[in-house]
């Protein structure tokens, strides 16, 4: 299917309105795995319509069909090839979930997904007793998963600075392992709030844990009958904070968001306070307002919220704020190499993102705001949405492959139209 580009323009330099965000992809995908492992005892409320969540839900439903049709005459071959496309969370979670289901399955994804490493998680699952082979390249999808899981160990070590999704995938299945699981996290833990989110949701579903020093232990135990309510997506909210930060005036209301969120990306309220954005929680949501304010903060550590990196870096670049960023170690293995993508696109407004080891600094000395700009998105939803707020400053912004946002925020372009953006197909 041909990619459809869009042209963004903005009427005026204010942002006012109410935006109803989709459910959190991160929360929803965890809830779906918990629901599947619980045998239906756990229900999921406020399902996200993000493509990644829809994909995972469909795969889990298909696997149930495989189990229920196993002894029938129906051909289940198509159900044994699981293609999750670009859904990284689904790839990690299913790598841990599927070995426990007793079916022979080949798990694959998009071309980019087949370039994203999975070896650390596969090694952990093999140690626990899973039979998993690589189909093409060692350490990368596709992988072939065999049935007959028998737990061989209940203690594993895993690096904490690669991807928190590996850790979450293992924690989600831990209570379903006959011998439970004791996990030692080696080194620094990247994206700690995502691990805390996982444990909090498991606790809501009746699963207890202990976390002492760098060891998390979950015993074999049953799920409780409950409902997990998926909160609106704070990652999606971050783009509205960016729009507010780049506007002269902003009065936005985002219903459903709370100050006590499980989502680590709720830290966007603190980050954007540096740019004059005030967050007030009332009326079962959050109100954003813009106040003129000098920017003093020079260093942003994004280790615990890497999905906010593109948003915050683009805002700093657009405002000419020469900030320094740390905690970006995982960005090179995301949907694209997000560091390289940021460097390439920011160069179009004369801004350099300079890499020195694990520290990144903006050089805005040659920043200029063009009349027109083309944004490449690299099959990355966050590149599209992080750069879209530039239409507040750039008269005509063309964004490549508008449909890429369906991965996490399908209604993004329609929501922009609610606050005086014009969204038109590029000719």
Are 69 and 112 in a shared domain? yes
Number of independent structural domains in the chain: 2
Are 202 and 303 in a shared domain? no
Residue 1 in domain: no
Are 153 and 290 in a shared domain? no
CA proximity to 242, closest of 5, 19, 64, 32: 19
Tell me the average pLDDT across 335-343. 93
The pLDDT value given to residue 411: 97
Tell me the average pLDDT across 8-36. 96
Are 216 and 282 in a shared domain? no
Among 178, 198, 229, the domain boundary falls at 229
Residue 115 in domain: yes
Are 270 and 168 in a shared domain? no
Are 142 and 192 in a shared domain? yes
Mean pLDDT of the chain: 93
Residue 74: is its pLDDT beyond 70? no
Q: Phi first, then psi: give them for residue 292, nearest 5 degrees.
A: -60, 130
**Which position among 307, 379, 380, 415 bears the catalytic label?**
307
CATH of residue 379's domain is: 3.65.10.10
Among 229, 252, 269, the domain boundary falls at 229
> Residue 356, Cβ neighbours under 10 Å: how many?
8
Are 11 and 69 in a shared domain? no
Residue 72: is its pLDDT beyond 60? no
Q: Phi first, then psi: give them for residue 245, nearest 5 degrees.
A: -65, -30
pLDDT, tens digit, 9 for 90 and up, residues 77-97 = 555 899 999 998 999 999 999
Are 171 and 288 in a shared domain? no
The pLDDT value given to residue 252: 98
Residue 268: is its pLDDT beyond 60? yes
- Residue 334 pLDDT level (bands cut at 50, 70, 90): confident
Which residues constitute the domain of residue 216? 25-229
| Lowest mean pLDDT across 20-34, 76-90, 182-196, 403-417 | 76-90
Tell me the average pLDDT across 9-34. 95
Among 210, 229, 248, the domain boundary falls at 229
**307 in catalytic set:** yes
Are 273 and 393 in a shared domain? yes
Are 179 and 246 in a shared domain? no
In angstroms, the CA 315 to CA 387 distance is 9
């Amino acid at each position: 299917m041909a990619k459809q580009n869009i042209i963004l323009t903005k009427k005026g330099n204010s942002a006012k309105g109410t935006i109803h965000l989709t459910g959190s992809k991160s929360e929803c995908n965890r809830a779906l795995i918990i629901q599947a492992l619980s045998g239906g005892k756990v229900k999921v409320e406020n399902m996200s319509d993000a493509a990644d969540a829809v994909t995972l839900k469909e795969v889990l439903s298909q696997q149930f069909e495989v189990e229920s049709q196993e002894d029938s005459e129906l051909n289940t071959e198509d159900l044994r090839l699981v293609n999750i496309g670009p859904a990284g969370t689904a790839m990690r979670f299913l790598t841990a979930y599927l070995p426990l289901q007793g079916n022979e399955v080949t798990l694959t994804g998009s071309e980019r997904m087949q370039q994203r490493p999975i070896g650390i998680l596969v090694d952990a699952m093999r140690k626990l007793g899973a039979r998993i082979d690589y189909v093409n390249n060692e350490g990368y999808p596709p992988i072939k998963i065999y049935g007959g899981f028998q737990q061989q160990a209940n203690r594993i070590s895993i690096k904490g600075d690669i991807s928190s999704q590996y850790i979450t995938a293992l924690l989600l299945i831990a209570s379903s392992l006959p011998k439970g699981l004791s996990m030692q996290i080696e080194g620094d833990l990247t994206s700690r709030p995502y691990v805390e989110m996982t444990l909090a949701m498991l606790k809501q579903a009746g699963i207890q844990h202990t976390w002492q020093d760098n060891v998390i232990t979950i015993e074999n135990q049953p799920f409780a009958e409950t409902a997990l309510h998926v909160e609106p997506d704070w990652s999606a909210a971050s783009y509205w904070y960016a729009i507010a930060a780049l506007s002269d005036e902003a009065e936005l209301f985002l219903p459903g968001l709370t100050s006590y969120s499980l989502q680590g990306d709720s830290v966007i309220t603190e980050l954007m306070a540096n740019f004059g954005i005030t967050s007030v929680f009332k009326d079962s949501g959050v109100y954003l307002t813009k106040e003129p304010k000098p920017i003093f903060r020079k260093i942003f550590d994004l280790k615990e919220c890497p999905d906010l990196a593109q948003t915050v870096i683009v805002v700093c670049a657009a405002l000419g704020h020469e900030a320094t960023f740390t905690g970006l170690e995982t960005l090179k293995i995301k949907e694209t190499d997000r560091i390289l993508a940021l460097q390439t696109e920011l160069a179009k407004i004369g801004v350099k993102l300079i890499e020195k080891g694990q520290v990144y600094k903006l050089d805005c000395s040659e920043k200029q705001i063009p009349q027109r700009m083309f944004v490449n998105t690299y099959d990355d939803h966050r590149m599209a949405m992080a750069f879209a707020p530039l239409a507040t400053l750039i008269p005509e912004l063309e964004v490549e492959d508008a449909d890429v946002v369906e991965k996490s925020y399908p209604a993004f372009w329609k929501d922009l139209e609610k606050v005086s953006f014009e969204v038109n197909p590029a000719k």
